[in-house]
Amino acid sequence: MERQAAEEESLIGTSSPQDALEHAIKAAELYMRASREAQGTTDRSRIRGKIEEMITLAEYLKSPSTKELIQPKQDRQLTPREMVALLQSSKLNGNNFPPWRTSHADPGAFSPKAGQELYTDPTPFPLSKLQLDNFEGWKRPNDLPTALQSLSLSSNSPARWLEVLPTSDLVQDVTADCSVLLRGLMFPFDPDRKQLLNSENGKYIFRMNFNGCFRKIEIDDRLPAAKTDRALYVTDRQNPTVIWPALMEKAYLKIRGGYDFPGSNSCTDLWVLTGWVPQQIFLQRDALDLDQEWDTIVQAFKTGNVLVTLGTGRISASEEAATGLVGEHDYGILDVDSDPDRRRLLIKNPWRTGERWNELGSTTISSPPAEDGGGGGSPPAGLHDQTGTFWMSLADVSQHFESMYLNWNPALFRNRQDFHFDWDLKPRKNMSSTVVDNPQYSVTPSADGSVWVLLARHFTDEEVGLIKRRSQSVDEDARVEVGFMSIYVFEDHGKRVQKLTRDLHHGPFVDSPQTLLKFRVESGKRYTVVPVQEKLPMARCRFTLSFFSNQSLGIAPAQDAMRYSTDMSSSWTRRTAGGNSGSVNYGTNPQFSITLTRQSSLSLLLCTDSPNVPVHIDLVWAGGDRVGPSLAIKDVLADSDAYVRGCAVLDVPSVDPGTYTAVCSTFEAGQLADFAFRGSGRLRTQLTPFVFAEGESCLRAPLSIARLTRMCASVRRATIPSAHAHAHDLGPRRSSTPLKIAVVTGRGPREHVLGVSGVGKGGGHSSRETFQVDLLGDAPISAGTWEDAS
C-alpha cells in the first residue's frame, strides 16, 4: 500500500495542477491505509508525516494562489473625486499603472507586430552597487545561463519555464527585496487549462494591488544576468528553468522603483501581489497574547486562508553568527504543527545560502528525530526538504523574531467598502496634538459582529526616494524617519472627535504602508474611525481606508457634533502667562467671552505645539468679563480636568443661555507658548446699540466677512435704558410699532435680500428706545456704523 502511495506521489511534479491535486488526494488516502497496516510506532509516525504532507500539498494545489482571486462584494459606488484620485495615483516612478477593471488581458497585446522587434520596456531598473558589481547585462530567457535555451518556447503554448510547480524552492541571492514571492495574476494565461502561456512578443502583464485598487503592470522578459555565479533575481533551486517568479519580481520592483529597492516587509509585498489583507503582529509587545491568536492562525493556515511570514529586527553581527538568524530579514512559513504539546512552525530562509537557526537560546526541547522524521531544527523530507528550512517552536519564535506577518484571504468576508482620500499631513500651527483635521468616518453596523479596518498609504515617488536614502545612510542618528500610522475607534455616536481620549480600540503604530485594526461592533451603536499618523515625512499623501465585514455597514464621513465652530490664535507671553488658579497672576491669562443664545452643548479645545507645556481650560460664570486673580470653585461652571501636555478638551453636555468667560492657562506661571483655541457653537458679534431718530424708519450697517459663513441675525430691546429715560422709568417704553431685520447685498436696483425676519412687536420711532442687533455665525463678522436708509 505504501508503495502505491509513493507512486501516486511521484506523479505530482510532472502533472498539470488539476491532475496533481487528484494524485495528492489519492496518495493521502493510500498513506492512510498504509498507516493502519503499519507495524511499530516508528513506521506509523513516518507514514503519518507523509499523510500530513500530502494533505498540505492538496490544500496548496486547490488554494486561491493557484486560481482566480476572490474578493468580497464592494458595497458602495465611488464618488467622482475618488475616481479621479485613483487615476492620479496611477503615476509612479515615471510610469503609468492604470486601474485594472477586467478579469483578463487582451490576447492581442502579446502578438508581435509586423516588422517590429520583441517588446522592450523603456523603464530604467536601477541596480544597487553590489548588483552592478555582478551585472553582465539584460538578457531574454533564451540567452540566460540556464537550460532555458534547450526548451521549446512556441507561441501561445504552455512553457516549462512558466509552469507553477508544487515543488518550487524559491531562493534569493543579491536581490535587495527579501520577501516571499507567490504566484499572482500574470498574462498571457490560458483560463481553461489554468496555465501561463509564453508571450510571442516578450511582453508580460501583471495585475497587482496597490494605490487603492488592482492595477496593470507591463514588463518585458529581460532579466539581469550575472557575470559571476551570483543570481540577481529570484530563482527556483529545484526547477532552475522556471523564471515566472523572476518576472513577477521584476513587475513588483517596477512599482517600487527598481532592483535597488531595499525591501519593505513580506506583509506589504503579499498585499500587493495577492490583495490579501495584511496584519502585523509585534511579538515583543508586553500586551500580546500570542496563545489566544494561535488557534485562529492554525485553523486559517490549514484551510489556506492565511499566509504567514516572520521578520527579525535589528541583530548584531555576533548574534547573527551565534544563532544563524539574519537581522532585519523576512522568513516564510511552510507549515505549522498544531500539536498542543509542540506548537511549531516550519520556517524557510529564502536566501540562496539558506542560513538556518542553530537552536541557540531555545526555550524548548526538540522532538526526537525518529518521531516525525524531522526533529529539532530539521524539516521533514519531501515537500519540506528545502534549502534553509527549520522547525521552531512558537515560544522560540516569539523570543527570536520581532514581527509575525499575516495576510488574510479577503474572501472570508462578504462585504467591503473602500474610501479613497487625500490627507494634508502637515498640521496647522498649534494643532499637532489634536485630530480635528484628521479624516474621520462614522460606522453604523446592521448586526453584531467583527469589523476589520485597513488603512493603506499610496506609494509615491517621494516616499520611495526617502526609503532608498534611509537604507544608504550609515549614520543611525541621521537616518530619515519614515513615520508611523495607526487606527483609533471611538464609541462616540459616529461624530467627529477632537482628541485621542476615551478610545474603544486602537492598533499599534506601524512604519509599514498598511495597518489593520480588528474590533467588534454591536447593532444599534455608532462608531467613529480615525486614521492617525506620526512623523510621516510627506507633506501630503493619498490613502485608502477599507472596511471588511460579514454584516452590512452604514459608513460615511463623520460630522461635527456641533454645527458651528471658530478658531482663534493667541499666546502666553511674559505678561499673560499667569499659571494655574492657585497663582496670584491667574487673572492675566488669555480669556475669551462665549455667548449662548439658547440652551446648548458646548465644546472647547485648547492646543499648543509646545510639547512640554501642560494646558487647561476653565469655563467661568463671569458674564463675559475678565476673571480676576482669585477664582472660587462656585464660579467655575466646568473645566477640562487635569493639566495635560499639548491639548485640553472641555465638553459640557448642556449649558444655559448666557455669556461666560473661558480662561486658558498653563500649569506654571511664566510658561511661554503660542496656542490655538477652538469653540464649537456659534460666534456672537454685537453691533453698536442704536436709537431711531425722529423721522427714521430704517437703519443699515455694513457687514464684512473673511470667508463663506453661515449667519443668523436678531434684534432686541437693549437691557440698559437710553440716556433720555426719566429716573422713574423701569426701562424703555414698549411700542406697538412693527419691527423686522433683513440682510441684503447691493443697493438700489441691484439690492438682493439674503434673508429677512418675520415682523415683530417692540419697535418704533421713540428716541427713548435703544435696540441691539446680535449676529451669530461660524466665523468672525465685522460691522460698521449705523446710517439712515429710510
* Catalytic residue set: 178, 329, 349
C-alpha grid cell for residue 165? 510547480
C-alpha grid cell for residue 657? 443661555
CA distance 228 to 436: 57
Q: Are 45 and 13 in contact (CB under 8 A)?
A: no
Query: In the chain, count of helices (H) and strands (E)?
Result: 12, 48
CA distance 588 to 576: 5
CA distance 253 to 260: 9
CA distance 760 to 740: 6
Q: Are 201 and 218 in contact (CB under 8 A)?
A: no
Q: What are phi and psi of 614, to 5 degrees?
A: -75, 135
Q: Are 485 and 457 in contact (CB under 8 A)?
A: yes
Write the CA distances from 110 to 154, 197, 319, integer angstroms. 13, 10, 50
CA-atom Rg of the chain in angstroms: 35
Would you give the DSSP letter of residue 374? S
Distance of CA 27 to the CA centre of its chain: 44
**467 CB contacts (<8 Å, ≥6 apart)?**
261, 262, 264, 482
- Which residue reads 527579501 in cell numbers? 178
* Closest of 130, 61, 54, 123 to residue 94, by C-alpha: 123
Determine if the peptide bond prior to 653 is cis (ω within 30°): no
Write the CA distances from 565 to 528, 560, 587, 612, 680, integer angstroms. 20, 9, 26, 27, 4
CB neighbour class for 698 (10 Å; exposed up to 12, middle 13-18, buried from 19)? exposed
Q: Are 123 and 203 in contact (CB under 8 A)?
A: no
**562 CB contacts (<8 Å, ≥6 apart)?**
601, 602, 603, 680, 681
**Structural element, H or E, at residue 51:** helix 41-62
**Structural element, H or E, at residue 168:** none
- Which residue reads 505530482 in cell numbers? 12
Count of CA atoms in the C-beta half-sphere (13 A) of 495: 10
- Does residue 388 sit in helix, strand or coil? coil
